[in-house]
Amino acid sequence: MAGVHLEVEAKYDVDEGFALPDLVDVFRAGREPGADDAAPWAEGAAAEHDLAATYYDTADLRLAAARLTLRRRTGGEDAGWHLKVPRADGARSEVRVDLAPGEDAGTDGPVPEQLVAMTWAVTLGHPLVPVARLRTHRAVRRLVDVTGRVLVEVADDHVTARRVHPSDAPGDVVGAEQAWREVEVEVVDGPPDLLATAEPRLVELGLRPSASASKLARTLGTEGAAPDEVGPALTAASPAGDVVLARLRAQVEQIRAQDLPVRLDTPGAVHAMRVATRRLRSALTTFERLLHRSATRPVRRELRWLARELGAVRDAEVMRDRLAGAMADAVPDAPAAVAREVSASLDGAYATARERLLGALDGDRYRALLRALDALLTETPWRGRAARPASDVLPRLVRAADDDVRAAVRAARREEDPAARETARHEARKAAKRARYAGEAVAVVLGDDAAAYAEAMEAVQEALGEHLDARHAGVLLERLAHDDASAATAFAYGRLHAHEERRAAHAEAAVDAAWDAASGKDLRRWMR
């Protein structure tokens, strides 16, 4: 089984003669008097460890390019497999998997299947092989509170490292030995700002923020590597195919980048991956005339499948958060037991959808889609006017998406049957979303007019979405009230249903206002 640990740390380079003073003095410096000063701090028991680590990556270092680190470490207090995943807030999530029973502490691999699956979106199935070996003598000091809880851990590391080069021959081909000393400071259970407030004192003492992101980056020499060549900036005179390809590439990269955050249940990850999937499918539809359908239509079909799998989780997440907020607004006097029953029902739906999604991400169908997307970017099946200037080709393709949304809105407004009208509004929302994505895709070269159009379509999409979410919430609440809910909880569902009915009515007026603002000819003057 894997565990996930949040890692908040900083690395510093130090000279051989450096000696760190008392930790209490270091970490009290610069802090305002507050709650954490009420109880005394002290240094806990020190420890020393000899660590041995083998780092794994593909031969072409795909994990390193994605800022992922995979290692197998023995010695110390956390022997096992560690996968380090960067987070948007600067911290890292560390996935930990124990060594298998009977696994030799002195040998390499094989990488646990769980970690192979978690990194597959980056490796695309390329083998994970040793790329570096490190030995570290670590002296550990800890700052603790009066209860013995560890606030900060300071590790003074003397490191020797060798790079391992892939080879078809027996045995390893290793690089020259490197050696250095560094200090790692990690906030364990201390105040979140403890590291930031102590850093000026640490620098004053002679610690230098490390130029390397990690020991592995220093060993591989990748900390200062230049980014991949991105080519000249796109303009209205660029080939239309280049503009479309940039859009496709950005969405494929986003899908792959969100794979691990989705698996780790990082907030917002499912939404980000779902949006990228929809934007990619929309681009393949809008710009279909520039691409061979025989290559793109199977990919669009599989993207639709992936969007459905992600959508089940996202929709459950939206309903859970929406109704939790509605409980506070519409049923503030609900007994705690009722609130717990409502929450349990919504949490259960989310957990079920998430479990299904994780199974899909580990399946052959998803992996085949990732391979197909990689092939789409490297062997793009251009046709038609893809080589013509973007300004000559792309506006007309966006115009077709705009024609679709105008027709869908007219159809929804004409529909008198309530159920059919809701279906028509759903189709109008999808069309508005495609038109928005089309405008976003070309705004990079066609400028403010295209961006303004995309913003107007987003407003239509959001207004329709709020209306449909309120209607869907009402249907969900009716179902939950008829399930095994207690009488008190069923009554709460009824009050929530009335609340959502009011929200739907307000949203209906917002839909008309958003469309009136988005239907002017001035927004479309750049389309020809």
Domains 2-220 and 240-384+391-523 share a fold: no
From 1.40.20.10, 3.40.920.10, 1.10.600.10, 3.40.640.10, which CATH number describes the 240-384+391-523 domain? Answer: 1.40.20.10
pLDDT band at 191 (very low <50, low <70, confident <90, very high): confident
Domain boundaries, the chain: 2-220, 240-384+391-523
Helix (H, G, I), strand (E, B) or coil at 152: strand
Q: Rounded distance, CA 340 to CA 327, Å?
A: 11
Q: Rounded distance, CA 323 to CA 326, Å?
A: 5
pLDDT band at 226 (very low <50, low <70, confident <90, very high): very low
Is residue 191 within 8 Å of residue 183, measured between CB atoms? no
Query: Which structure tokens are listed for 372?
Result: 């197909």
Q: What is the pTM of this model?
A: 0.87
Give residue 334's pLDDT: 80
* Of 325, 317, 310, the residue nearest 347 (C-alpha): 317
2-220 belongs to which homologous superfamily?
A: Hypothetical Protein Pfu-838710-001 (2.40.320.10)
pLDDT band at 261 (very low <50, low <70, confident <90, very high): very high
Question: How does the average pLDDT of the chain come out, rounded?
Answer: 90
Is residue 66 within 8 Å of residue 48, measured between CB atoms? no
* Of 388, 394, 494, 383, the residue nearest 446 (C-alpha): 394
pLDDT, tens only, 49-77: 999 999 999 999 999 999 999 999 999 88
